[in-house]
Chains A and B, each alone.
Chain A
Amino acid sequence: MIRRIRGFSVAMASLGAGVLLIAMAGCSGGGGDDSASQNTTSRGPITYVQGKDNNNVIRPLIAQWNASHPKEQVTFKEQSDQADQQHDDLVQHFQAKDPHYDVVDVDVVWTAEFAAKGWLQPLTGDFALDTSKLLPATVKTGTYNGVLYAAPQSSDGGLLYYRKDLVPNPPKTWDEMLQDCSIAKSHNMGCYAGQYAKYEGLTVNTAEAINTAGGEIVKSDGRTPDVDTPAAAKGLTMLVDAYKNGDIPQQAITYQEEQGRQAFEAGQLLFMRNWPYVYSLATTDASSKVKTSMAIAPLPGLTATTPGASSLGGHNAAISKYSAHKATALDFVKFLESEDTQNTFATKASLAPVIASLYDDPTLIQKLPYLPTLKTSILNAVPRPVTPFYPAVTQAIEENAYAAIKGDKTVDQALKDMQAAITAAGS
């Protein structure tokens, strides 16, 4: 019996040591590499990685590419439809230096993180792209530290939805909009709402308010916070005051995009900040009470001459540094950027193009009537902070803006904390 126990403990001890060894081995590795200069002229089959293709637009495009590139076939790897899962999937494959993740579709807010980790092929030298036709704000989302790392593929900007039956002329400034709130009151409905639940949408809305008032969240280097300023305070105060006096209804603190859309479609809101996807739903949904009485305008600005500064959504296409066939990958990225492909994205999937001229295309406008307004929005847009610490930065913005809007914190204190939290994120 004793012997048996001893044998057992010896076995356990050696097993434990083995486990430790495995753990140690897992930690080694890493360090610098020169994969950026490898495989730059190599051609061959590649894989394109993207989140769920809801509108079945990418497969036909790839089929079209494959028909004309028999030796450089593209395989489509489809991820889930959850942004967080897409992010984590990409991180895992980059960490494993997977040579089969050649061209990847990255959310605009992840680009800086992936670039700073050294996972993306810089689009310089032989890889340089012609960005002259693209909307400047979209190019900024793919740029980190002055270098373009990802090619803008699709964009998105905020719009002001309003009730043209009640407000004949859409407000051009924030103050004008709040004056129209008396109309909302007399019709017993809420005046204005965006997305103020504590999630990414609150960062979008806070950044819009701050940027509209002339403030900024981080300086142009993407790292130095600059949010504890009078201009930023003015921007955040616009939201805080409107929530306090009820112009933004109390329940809007729980709103994500969908709750706001439902309230607007039910006729409970006079004004709403939301993305272009709402347009077709609000005009066609059977339950929508505002099918014919809604209209869109650029986001209200500080003065009548400049519209509000929208935050930018959308995705960029990037080439993995570990790709085995980078020349093919670059051609495929250029194919995604081409006017024809962008046109297909817009018509088939309602994705906002990144090429400026497409917004003036009459046939496209007929299909997507919000395009001219969206163009104004994106031309005045400011990307969300391009920082490699985006998860921590957005957390700092959400948490403190949420407390300020709810009145748990003064605007000054919230901005001071936001500044300190963004600083801590980068240290």
Chain B
Amino acid sequence: MSVTSGVSADDKAEQDKAAPPPRNRGSSLRKGEGKLGLYLITPTIVLLAVVIGYPVVKAIVMSFQKDPGLDKATGMFVSGGNAGFSNYTHWILQRCGTVSCPPGTLGAEFWDSVGTTFFFTATTVVIEVILGMWMALVMNRAFRGRGLLRASVLVPWAIPTAITAKLWYFIFAYDGIANRVLHTHILWTGDQWASRFAIIIADVWKTTPFIALLILAGLQVIPADTYEAAVVDGANAWQRFTQVTLPLVRPALMVAILFRVLDALRIYDLPAILTGGGGGTGHATTTLSILVVEQIRGGFNSAAALSTLTFLLIFLVAFIFVRFLGAHVVQTQQRQQKGTI
């Protein structure tokens, strides 16, 4: 189906090229058209600048201001003044004033939470992609009750994360279902690794359906005749998967992975509710976003520096994905519409 539509789209493009558009507007009119276009998009640009540009810029400006300090004589807070890069060195070099941040300060937790965040991202995305691929392949087959299966797979994704987190909180309680069923006495929210795995399990349960659906959408545009041709050529099931399915589903897969990676890097609600960022020596499940929220109560400007760092980190990862791994969100959609994939 998609092959035929692709052909027709190409035909149309050729026709457009062959026959010059019947335009009899002069160049001055085209100039006016350009201005009109500018006026038309200006409201959108203004809106984007206000809702996206302003917070980002404001956070950066704030991050170079010192948090209010206490005037020892009066016991009152006084405004901190220009901070230079001290808010950034506070996090990156873990400097608290003139000493290195002692355990029990948020500054000492920065690199730990960077590690935790990336660990969560890597493990959850890998597991979710493998399981999601498997689920998508199952859902892509024609069998009785397929619609029901597709709908029911979506249930975990449809439940709000806060509720998911609370459900798993009860499951992982010491007297909860997990310990009863497994006949264990694991402190799921207290142990360093148990608490991390509790988060990973809950996150995989919740978001695998999302990945599965994105992959399923990619699978459905693969024409059936490519498989027929592969069968005729004598390819076995594994070869069909690696030689036909994987290359053709790759653009959709990359977009799914990009979405999930960016989502996982800013994870907040699940660990915040499930473990409160605790476990291990006290911050085994503290992610960058949890750290930002904790810091907001201790000083806005330092928190602004931390959010800027988090923003840069996530931006960098997204950039690497788009630039080097070929996750072209917009192009993929356009090409899908044109039917060239």
Q: Do A and B bind each other?
A: yes
Which A residues form the contact surface with B (CB < 8 A)?
3-4, 7-8, 11-12, 15-16, 18-20, 22-24, 26-27, 30-31, 84, 87-88, 116-118, 144-145, 197-199, 223, 250-251, 253-254, 259, 263, 388-389, 391-392, 395-400, 402-403, 406, 408-409, 417-418, 420-427
Q: How far is the CB of A85 from chain B (nearest CB, A)?
A: 12
Chain A residues within an 8 Å CB radius of B298: 389, 391-392, 395, 425
Closest B residue to A387 by beta carbon equals B70
**Interface on chain B toward A: helix, strand, loop, or mixed SS?**
mixed
Segment from B94-102, B243-251, B317-325, B333-341 that makes contact with A: B94-102
Is there contact, CB below 8 Å, between A116 and B102? no
Tier of interface size on chain B: 35 or more
Per the bound structure, the CA–CA distance linking A259 and B170 in Å amounts to 11
Asked whether A409 and B281 contact (CB < 8 A) given A18-B49, A250-B187, the answer is yes
Is there contact, CB below 8 Å, between A11 and B281? no
Q: How far is the CB of B28 from chain A (nearest CB, A)?
A: 12
Q: How far is the CB of A24 from chain B (nearest CB, A)?
A: 7
Say yes or no for B38: interface residue by CB 8 A criterion: yes
29 residue pairs A–B, Cβ–Cβ below 8 Å: A7-B34, A7-B35, A8-B38, A11-B38, A16-B53, A19-B49, A22-B54, A23-B58, A27-B65, A30-B79, A84-B297, A116-B77, A117-B77, A145-B74, A198-B278, A199-B278, A223-B70, A254-B173, A254-B174, A388-B75, A389-B298, A391-B298, A395-B298, A400-B103, A420-B104, A421-B103, A424-B96, A424-B101, A427-B97
Is there contact, CB below 8 Å, between B174 and A251? yes
Per the bound structure, the CA–CA distance linking A30 and B77 in Å amounts to 12
Say yes or no for B156: interface residue by CB 8 A criterion: no
Of the candidates B38, B50, B104, B280, the one having the most CB atoms from chain A within 10 angstroms of its own CB is B104
Is there contact, CB below 8 Å, between B104 and A408? no
Chain A residues within an 8 Å CB radius of B101: 421, 424
Chain B residues within an 8 Å CB radius of A395: 104-106, 294, 298
List the 6 shortest-distance A-B pairs measured between CB atoms, nearest first: A421-B104, A420-B102, A251-B174, A198-B278, A145-B75, A424-B96
Is there contact, CB below 8 Å, between A424 and B61? no
Closest B residue to A10 by beta carbon equals B38
Is there contact, CB below 8 Å, between A198 and B104? no
Closest A residue to B278 by beta carbon equals A198
Chain B residues within an 8 Å CB radius of A118: 76-77
How many residue pairs link A and B with beta carbons under 8 A? The number is 156
Is there contact, CB below 8 Å, between B190 and A396? no
Q: Per a CB cutoff under 8 Å, which of A3, A20, A398, A406 touches B31? A: A3
Closest A residue to B107 by beta carbon equals A424
Per the bound structure, the CA–CA distance linking A114 and B58 in Å amounts to 25
Say yes or no for B122: interface residue by CB 8 A criterion: no
Chain A residues within an 8 Å CB radius of B173: 254, 259
Is there contact, CB below 8 Å, between A418 and B49? no
Say yes or no for B17: interface residue by CB 8 A criterion: no
Is there contact, CB below 8 Å, between B281 and A254? no
Q: How far is the CB of B101 from chain A (nearest CB, A)?
A: 6
Which parts of B272-292 form the interface with A (CB within 8 Å)?
276-283
Q: How far is the CB of A122 from chain B (nearest CB, A)?
A: 11
Is there contact, CB below 8 Å, between B278 and A402? yes
Is there contact, CB below 8 Å, between A398 and B282? yes
Q: How far is the CB of B35 from chain A (nearest CB, A)?
A: 7
Q: How far is the CB of B175 from chain A (nearest CB, A)?
A: 8
Is there contact, CB below 8 Å, between B278 and A421? no
Which B residues form the contact surface with A (CB < 8 A)?
31, 34-35, 37-38, 41-42, 45-46, 49-50, 53-54, 57-58, 61-62, 65, 68-70, 72, 74-77, 79, 96-97, 99, 101-108, 173-175, 185, 187-190, 276-283, 294, 297-298
Is there contact, CB below 8 Å, between A254 and B189? yes
Is there contact, CB below 8 Å, between B276 and A197? yes
Is there contact, CB below 8 Å, between B99 and A399? no
Is there contact, CB below 8 Å, between A250 and B62? no
Is there contact, CB below 8 Å, between A4 and B99? no
Chain A residues within an 8 Å CB radius of B49: 15-16, 18-19
Per the bound structure, the CA–CA distance linking A8 and B44 in Å amounts to 12
Is there contact, CB below 8 Å, between B281 and A23? no
Chain A residues within an 8 Å CB radius of B58: 22-23, 26
Chain B residues within an 8 Å CB radius of A22: 54, 58
Closest A residue to B64 by beta carbon equals A27
16 further contact pairs, Cβ within 8 A, besides A7-B34, A145-B74:
A4-B34, A8-B41, A15-B45, A20-B57, A22-B54, A87-B297, A198-B282, A250-B185, A251-B175, A254-B189, A396-B104, A402-B281, A408-B280, A418-B104, A421-B108, A422-B104
Chain A residues within an 8 Å CB radius of B54: 19, 22-23
Closest A residue to B96 by beta carbon equals A424
Per the bound structure, the CA–CA distance linking A116 and B74 in Å amounts to 9
Asked whether A421 and B105 contact (CB < 8 A) given A26-B58, A254-B174, the answer is yes
Asked whether A15 and B62 contact (CB < 8 A) given A251-B187, A253-B190, the answer is no
Chain B residues within an 8 Å CB radius of A423: 102
Per the bound structure, the CA–CA distance linking A395 and B106 in Å amounts to 8
Asked whether A388 and B281 contact (CB < 8 A) given A87-B297, A254-B190, the answer is no
Per the bound structure, the CA–CA distance linking A31 and B99 in Å amounts to 29
Closest A residue to B102 by beta carbon equals A420
Per the bound structure, the CA–CA distance linking A124 and B57 in Å amounts to 43
Q: How far is the CB of B79 from chain A (nearest CB, A)?
A: 5
Chain A residues within an 8 Å CB radius of B68: 117
Chain B residues within an 8 Å CB radius of A23: 54, 57-58, 61
Chain B residues within an 8 Å CB radius of A12: 45
Chain A residues within an 8 Å CB radius of B282: 198, 398-400, 402-403
Is there contact, CB below 8 Å, between B281 and A408? yes
Q: Per a CB cutoff under 8 Å, which of B34, B77, B102, B277 touches A424? A: B102
Is there contact, CB below 8 Å, between B104 and A400? yes
Q: How far is the CB of B229 from chain A (nearest CB, A)?
A: 43
Per the bound structure, the CA–CA distance linking A22 and B49 in Å amounts to 11
Q: How far is the CB of B51 from chain A (nearest CB, A)?
A: 11
Per the bound structure, the CA–CA distance linking A4 and B42 in Å amounts to 13
